[in-house]
Chains A and B, each alone.
Chain A
């Protein structure tokens, strides 16, 4: 026998003790029957044989307890051994009933089964109790099995969750690491973009400045072209003024040399023309000088 302190081991021990006790008592009843100390009916014998079969078979006390044969055995065990047989028949008649000792360790079955009471008032169990007990036992067994299954499933599911969570944590850590690296790259790229934007802005400013210088140069060129064009006109006007003045001077000198008063007086329109021509040339020259000053 395996000695253990666990409740299950204790139940097993109690079960074995109970079975041994029942075996001994059944054996005692048989012995007394064979010795003629007991008169047993066919029902008693069938019950004893069935009990023996059960005990010798799977030796499962629950079956014994639930089996109707136990009532028969119990009844036999409660009957004291007769001192002598006073009559033979279908009825028991004990002469000197030997004291039968109740099992030293009555089996206390699980799930609320109580061992049959050996008291005089217990008697045989009612026939309808056994099927009800079986049903209750089956229901409880199914419930216990269900709970056991659920417990195992729960434990398995929790284990799966934990595994998944660990895997997820590893993935998260990896992704976080990659994200931090990516963030660093983005920050670096942002810095590069900002630097490039600054360079682009600077270059655009330089381009605008160069374009402005070019346009200013074109402006100057345009002005100088206009100045040259205007200067040419002024020069022609001045030249015309000079030529007219020279001609007028020649005409005046000739008139004076010839002492031709009428010719001299006839030079008045020419003199007026020269004056006008030179006046216009002077105005053009002043305008030109003004343009030059404005352009410089």
Chain B
């Protein structure tokens, strides 16, 4: 009786747990469907899709050569040896949208050139605030052999003085596969930021060579109109 009264009091107070139903136990098996069944794109593919927005094919008609250029910090960057000898460069997006760029500055100390262009897309790369360290995973996005936009992955192998190549500052050695036409390609890290600019291949080791982000940042801060350079052929 007391137990019953206690139960009744608890019920009146609204403090008891609802009784377990004995005739409404319907087994429920709710299985959530996967939101995305499609396989996630690989990192290479993600980098490729990002690079399509700001990496261009560069053609130097005057010197009959092609290379790569990319948009960063409101300008177009490529190698000096790609842009040398031409006042105008023909640029093209990955899907064949052509536009012209005017050379504005060739670096004296580094293999870098700056151009002004009215790109079809305002999208541009962001420049990393620090240089990559050894072992960092990096991707090269460019147009090897003047072919389609390609992304190749690799790692930073180390840093060497650029003096042996006639360049100022340090040079990054990378394991990414580099070919002709990759000149001027941005070196991207996993989040898509530019950490360097590819300019050559070490024929002895086969390693790629790139100027680090700090060198590019210094060049972006330069001013001038040093354009009197012959073709690099």
Name B22's closest neighbour in chain A (CB-CB): A162
Q: Which residues of B contact A147 (CB under 8 A)?
A: 1, 4-5, 8
Q: Which residues of B contact A158 (CB under 8 A)?
A: 19
Is B219 located at the chain interface by the 8 A CB criterion? no
Q: Which residues of B contact A215 (CB under 8 A)?
A: 57, 59, 92, 96, 146
What sequence of 0s and 1s flags, for each residue 192-213 of chain A, a beta carbon within 8 Å of any chain B beta carbon?
0110010000001001111110
Please count how many residues in chain A sit with their CB below 8 Å of the partner chain's CB atoms.
44
Is A214 located at the chain interface by the 8 A CB criterion? yes
Name A291's closest neighbour in chain B (CB-CB): B64
Name B57's closest neighbour in chain A (CB-CB): A215
Please count how many residues in chain B sit with their CB below 8 Å of the partner chain's CB atoms.
43
Query: In the complex the two chains form, what is the Cα distance from A216 to B147 in whole Å?
Result: 8
Given the known interface contacts A147-B1, A166-B24, the answer about A208 and B37 at a Cβ–Cβ threshold of 8 Å is no
- Are A153 and B26 interface neighbours, CB within 8 A? no
Say what secondary structure dominates the interface of chain A: helix
Q: Which residues of B contact A41 (CB under 8 A)?
A: none
Given the known interface contacts A211-B92, A226-B64, the answer about A154 and B36 at a Cβ–Cβ threshold of 8 Å is no
- Are B24 and A168 interface neighbours, CB within 8 A? yes
Q: Which 4 pairs of residues, A with B, have the shortest CB-CB distance?
A: A211-B96, A150-B8, A190-B37, A194-B38
Query: In the complex the two chains form, what is the Cα distance from A4 to B56 in whole Å?
Result: 105
Name A165's closest neighbour in chain B (CB-CB): B21
Number of A-B contacts (CB under 8 A): 110
| Given A172-B28, A211-B148, 9 other A-B residues pairs in contact with their CB atoms under 8 A | A150-B9, A153-B8, A161-B18, A176-B30, A194-B38, A207-B96, A208-B149, A215-B96, A222-B64
Query: In the complex the two chains form, what is the Cα distance from A197 to B24 in whole Å?
Result: 45
Task: Tell which of A49-57, A179-187, A252-260 binds the partner.
Answer: A179-187
- Are A151 and B38 interface neighbours, CB within 8 A? no
Name B45's closest neighbour in chain A (CB-CB): A201
Q: Which residues of B contact A172 (CB under 8 A)?
A: 26, 28
Is B15 located at the chain interface by the 8 A CB criterion? no
Is B221 located at the chain interface by the 8 A CB criterion? no
Given the known interface contacts A151-B4, A190-B37, the answer about A223 and B28 at a Cβ–Cβ threshold of 8 Å is no
- Are A219 and B59 interface neighbours, CB within 8 A? yes
- Are A151 and B146 interface neighbours, CB within 8 A? no
- Are B24 and A162 interface neighbours, CB within 8 A? yes
Give chain B nearest CB distance to A127 CB in angstroms. Answer: 33
- Are A222 and B59 interface neighbours, CB within 8 A? yes
Scan residues 10-51 of chain B and give those whose CB is less than 8 A from a CB of chain A.
11-12, 18-19, 21, 23-26, 28-39
* Option from A150, A187, A211 in Cβ contact (under 8 Å) with B33: A187
Scan residues 129-171 of chain A and give those whose CB is less than 8 A from a CB of chain B.
146-147, 150-151, 153-154, 157-158, 161-162, 165-166, 168-169
Name B147's closest neighbour in chain A (CB-CB): A212
Q: Which residues of A contact B30 (CB under 8 A)?
A: 176, 179
Scan residues 212-236 of chain A and give those whose CB is less than 8 A from a CB of chain B.
212, 214-216, 218-219, 222-223, 226
Give chain A nearest CB distance to B55 CB in angstroms. Answer: 12
Q: Which residues of B contact A191 (CB under 8 A)?
A: 37
What sequence of 0s and 1s flags, for each residue 160-194 of chain B, a beta carbon within 8 Å of any chain A beta carbon?
00000000000000000000000000000000000
Is A105 located at the chain interface by the 8 A CB criterion? no
Scan residues 57-81 of chain B and give those whose CB is less than 8 A from a CB of chain A.
57, 59, 61, 64, 66
Query: In the complex the two chains form, what is the Cα distance from A162 to B19 in whole Å?
Result: 8
Q: Which residues of A contact B33 (CB under 8 A)?
A: 182-184, 186-187, 190
Is B54 located at the chain interface by the 8 A CB criterion? no
